[in-house]
Amino acid sequence: MDWAAWFDAPDFEFARQVLQRGVAALYFVAFLSSLNQFPALLGERGLLPVPDYLEAFSRLRRPTLFRWRYSDRLLRAVCGTGMAISATLVAGLPQLGPPWVPLLAFLALWLLYMSIVNVGQTFYGFGWEMLLLEAGFTVAFLGSDQTDPPRTILILVAWLVFRLEFGAGMIKIRGGREWRDLTALYYHHETQPMPGPLSRQAHLLPKLFHRVEVLGNHFAQLVVPFFLFAPQPLASIAAGIVIFTQLWLVATGNFAWLNWIAIVLAFAAVSDPVAHAVLPFLPLNWHPAYSGDETPLWWLGLTLAATLLLVVLSYWPIRNLFSHHQLMNASFNRWQLVNTYGAFGTVTKQRVEVAVEGTMDEDPDETADWQEYGFKGKPGDVRRVPRQWAPYHLRLDWLMWFLPLRTVHEEWFYAFLAKLLEGDRTVLRLLRHDPFDGERPRWVRARTYLYRFSSRAEFRETGQRWIRTPLYEAIPPLSLRRAPGRQQ
């Protein structure tokens, strides 16, 4: 049928390879992150135990495999299964079979990870969780090597990139004045949740460069996304701009897999001829054995049904994009499909860090020997070079950044302090440095400090990458007898 040929996009095989393997790789990272951190944060004896959460919300309507029963063993089985499926997709094995094989593989990843996210509470309350879920569902319908990539699904992936970029751009324009007067990046590199190894160098660049950065950001997020739907090669050029700007964010910060998934998804607009022109070693004809094969009608019908579903669900995000009360990182359905995205509508001007300290002394006054716990990602040691963690997500470190912006009196944070007093090994493994080598401190407390990057002159003089100033004691000394929720 000639009319059906329009739905095939034979010139986008490279895009399909990147989308399927790239999204699968990020699912692998997400499951690995959960395997390593979920039991300590949310497990049976975690900071916010899932069994308690499920008991309190017995009618939890969000879909999850843990609705009826949770155990750390089951969680590890879910993560292991997800990692195994992801690895096969990265290797391209399901793609060698009929199109329903990678479809089922991606839908399995979507359902398994959704089961984790929907009981993850505040530790999974990040926009890139729903972004990964939506991406996994959408690329599930890209088919296999035995069919051409479906054009409508590629358009829907580009539509996902549009919502991600344009939504973030509109949040900024409607948000803090610093985005409109071009001063936002005077502060952002220094105050972002988890700086990377090059963040200080980026912060010390001239202010004129930072103003140009903001202008470039507005152009990349408010203008470029429309060209993702333009004819070639304009669409590929637009995708290239998105990829370049996201790589700059990768180099200057740690935003879990947010930037990496944006890079992967942007390839939906890159055609094979353009990819071959830029990288001549890439073939123009990826699967000559299948050239000329017609797409099975059942597969065409399935992809069109998925397309119709996602188009209908797009009504709410479109309305949100043009609303004066635009929501950021919100889902309009329980399956977390066709969501709204956005980040950093306002930029923090100063960096306040919560430091956690403990002591073995009997009397917890200022003369006690207070030792500071070291975190893997968040700033602490003023001489330490921040590490590059993304796309891996350090969930505890990220929530530590939010404490001074909201309140230190969070349930999970008091539970964290109690675990330190108990010398809990699973929680201590989330940290970079335990000053007591597994022993139980008698007291712990939380203090706040003002952090700023050192100037080049200050670094030459002191060797410090951060300059920190003590502020106040956020939580006074606690012992096991005086920890919240315990009998004294």
Question: Is 461 within 8 Å of 435 (Cβ atoms)?
Answer: no
- Number of continuous H segments (helices) and E segments (strands) in the chain: 19, 6
Q: How far apart are the first and last CA of the chain?
A: 78
Report the amino acid identity of residue 72.
D
Question: Is 468 within 8 Å of 380 (Cβ atoms)?
Answer: no
Strand pairing class (374-375; 371-372) = unpaired
Residue 487 has pLDDT above 70, yes or no: no
Q: Is 488 exposed, middle or buried (0-12, 13-18, 19+ CB in 10 A)?
A: exposed
- The band of 488, judged by pLDDT with boundaries at 50, 70 and 90, is very low
Q: Chain-centre distance of CA 149, in angstroms?
A: 27
Average pLDDT over the chain, rounded to an integer = 94
**What per-residue confidence (pLDDT) applies to 60?**
63
Nearest to 102 by CA among 68, 76, 64, 140: 140
**Quick count: other Cβ atoms within 10 Å of Cβ 71?**
14
pTM of the shown model: 0.95
**What per-residue confidence (pLDDT) applies to 206?**
97
Q: Is 1 exposed, middle or buried (0-12, 13-18, 19+ CB in 10 A)?
A: exposed
Sequence-separated (6 or more) residues with CB below 8 Å from residue 170: 222, 321, 326, 342
Q: What's the rounded mean pLDDT across residues 158-169?
A: 97
**What per-residue confidence (pLDDT) applies to 57?**
75
Sequence-separated (6 or more) residues with CB below 8 Å from residue 368: 359, 361, 443
Spatial distance between the Cα atoms of 90 and 264, rounded to a whole number of angstroms: 13
Whether the ω angle into residue 225 lies within 30 degrees of 0, i.e. cis, is no
The helix-helix angle for 151-174 and 127-139 (nearest 10°) equals 160
Token digits of residue 416: 């964290």
Spatial distance between the Cα atoms of 129 and 420, rounded to a whole number of angstroms: 28
Spatial distance between the Cα atoms of 84 and 215, rounded to a whole number of angstroms: 43
- The band of 292, judged by pLDDT with boundaries at 50, 70 and 90, is low
Spatial distance between the Cα atoms of 357 and 371, rounded to a whole number of angstroms: 5
Residue 3 has pLDDT above 70, yes or no: no
* 103-116 tens-digit pLDDT: 999 999 999 999 99
**What per-residue confidence (pLDDT) applies to 324?**
85
Looking at per-residue pLDDT, the higher value among 235 and 62 belongs to 235
* 220-238 tens-digit pLDDT: 999 999 999 999 999 999 9
**What per-residue confidence (pLDDT) applies to 420?**
98
* 187-217 tens-digit pLDDT: 999 999 999 999 999 999 999 999 999 999 9
* 400-456 tens-digit pLDDT: 999 999 999 999 999 999 999 999 999 999 999 999 999 999 999 999 999 999 999
**What per-residue confidence (pLDDT) applies to 486?**
47
Residue 4 has pLDDT above 90, yes or no: no
Spatial distance between the Cα atoms of 373 and 357, rounded to a whole number of angstroms: 6
Q: Cα dihedral angle (399, 404, 410, 412), rounded to 10 degrees?
A: 30
**What per-residue confidence (pLDDT) applies to 323?**
87
Share of the chain above pLDDT 90, in %: 89
Which regions of 360-405 does DSSP assign to beta strands (E)?
371-372, 374-375
Nearest to 448 by CA among 486, 413, 424: 413
Q: What's the rounded mean pLDDT across residues 8-12?
A: 93
